[in-house]
Every structure is written in structure tokens, then in C-alpha cells.
Amino acid sequence: MSVLRRSGPTLLGDDMNVSFEFFPPRSGDMESQLWESVMRLAPFGPDFVSVTYGAGGTTRQPTLATVKRLLAETDLAPAAHLTCVNASKDDVDAVAREFWEAGVRHFVALRGDSPDGIGSAYRPHKDGYRNAAELVAGLKAFADFEITVSAYPEKHPESPDFMTDIDMLKRKVDNGATRAITQFFFDNDSYERYVERVRRAGIYVPIVPGILPVHNFSQVAKFADLCGASIPDWLATRFEGLEQDPQTRSLVAAAVAADQVMDLVERGVQDFHFYTMNRAQLVYAICHLLGLRAPKGNGTVTTATAA
């Protein structure tokens, strides 16, 4: 794995770590975009890269194929997402076994959203895991996977209050999760208050902020509304009038995300997870602004991938 050179006065030390999320491709063009993004970001030496999993296993084979290629052609450590949606325990366990046999040792364990769409009521499968806490326990019973779970600085939209939300996180950790990645957010004060609540509840695993670069503000605003993430007025103002100006919009997006991460670094945060949307340009620019450097001529993509 490559070692990063850090530079610039913004960073507080040499312990900054990044990870990246990708989603499996559904067409030839999307596959090309995915692997161009992987090759572009791999030299930063992320702790791991996660690959999403469609509701009810709709991307099971593309997710597995993507993970297998990451294992075969790169030095990256892939983490496969896994959900409970529309699946019995036996079905989920079969998927876990398939990924284990492929070489996966890290899962991002999620309940998943309703197949009727985000915001619709979730109904567990009658023979399935009812929530992510049960899924974590099932995975740990099968093998000693490393397990990452989700966290919600502004609480999950289906939780009646923060106490209920944090109790679910504690159950996931008590069952074996060793890291939580947050839903994206833009208010760092909300994240900091959330971490304080989590620590007071006796949860001490890393709470890694999930950072979403704003490729398209209107789309992000709609998605944020569905998943309970707030959009500050200042953020809307930053992107106002740029709907038909993608070049300037990208520059603003990189600056906004870099400012957010730099502020979190000043608050003592050292681990970051980037939702790449299979687009490397903004994430690469943000990492560069943060002082991350890949050693020249020593990326993490092997000759097989480069070929």
C-alpha cells in the first residue's frame, strides 16, 4: 500500500486517513467511469474502498464482480455493503459466504432502505434480519469479519428521537461493529454534538464523517430532504446561479468540501469517508487541497489494472 506525503499547515499531524465509496456499474460506460475513478484515487492509499449493494440484492453480482476485480487487480482493501432488504437470513448468509469465498473480510452492514424508495415505511422480511444490529450479529456469527455500520448526525429519519437512534448504534457496536460512517452532512457543529452524545452513551468506536462533494446541488438537496440531512442557507447561496455553469460549480464544490474537512481536522477529526459517486475529479481535488500526496510512480493500482 502506498504511503502518503502530507503537506500544508492545515493538517494537524500525519495520521489522516481516507476511504472511498463506489457503486457497481450497470453499463459499459458506467464501468469505464468507475475504473477510471478507482485508478485516479487509488494512489492516495485509502484505508479501504466500499462497494454499495442494491436493495434486495439487485446489484449482488455486479457488486461481487467489482469486489473481485478490486482484489485481483489492485492493492486496495474492498469492503462490500450488505443489507437486509427483501431477503431471508438464509439468503443474506449465502451472500456473506459468497463474498467470504471471494476474499472479502470487511462488510458495511446496513438495514437498507425500503424497496418503495427512501421515505417509505420499511418492512422487514418475515424470515430476515429485522435491522442492522441483527445483521451485524449474524455476520459475526458466521466469520470474524471487520464490520462498519452507519451513523446519523441529524438522526435517522425514521427514529423518533436521538436516544432511540443512538441506542440502535450501540446495539450494532455491542454486536461487533468496529467503525461507524455517518450519513453526509454539511453542518460540522451537528456532527460534533452527535459525537458527544455517542460518547456519553458509552460508544467509543470511530465515528467517521461521510463527506459528499456537491456535483449537482439540486439533486443533493432533494436527496438530503429524503434522508433527513439539512441544507444550510449558506450552502444554497454558494451554488446559486451556477445551474448552467458546471466548471465554476465544480470549483465551488471542491472548495466547499475542502473547507468542511479542514474545519473538521481543526476539531481533531483524522478519518474521512468520501462518497465519490464514481467521479474522481472532485474527490481528487479535495484530497490534494488537504495536503494528501501519492508518491510519484508508486500508486496502488497494479500493472494488471493499468494495462
Name the residue with cell 452513551.
Answer: 201
Give per-residue pLDDT as tens, 6-23.
Answer: 444 444 335 689 999 999
> Residue 115: which CATH number?
3.20.20.220
Instruction: List CB contacts of 250: < 8 A, sequence separation 6 or more.
Output: 215, 281, 282
Is residue 158 flagged as an active site residue?
A: no
Alpha-carbon distance of 273 to 284, in angstroms, equals: 13
Expressed as residue numbers, the domain containing 56 is 5-306
pTM of the predicted structure, to 2 decimals: 0.89
- Which is the catalytic residue, given 21, 73, 134, 154? 21
Give the torsion through C-alpha atoms of 289, 149, 229, 18, to 10 deg. Answer: 0
Sheet holding 106-109, edge to edge: 207-208, 179-182, 146-151, 106-109, 78-82, 49-51, 17-22, 271-275, 210-211
In this predicted structure, the answer to whether residue 81 has a pLDDT above a threshold of 50 is: yes
Give per-residue pLDDT as tens, 218-253.
Answer: 999 998 988 889 999 999 999 999 999 999 998 999
Listed range (60-64, 277-281, 286-290) with the worst mean pLDDT = 286-290
Q: What is the per-residue pLDDT for 136?
A: 97
Q: How many domains does the chain have?
A: 1
Looking at every residue in the chain, the average pLDDT score rounds to: 87
In this predicted structure, the answer to whether residue 3 has a pLDDT above a threshold of 70 is: no
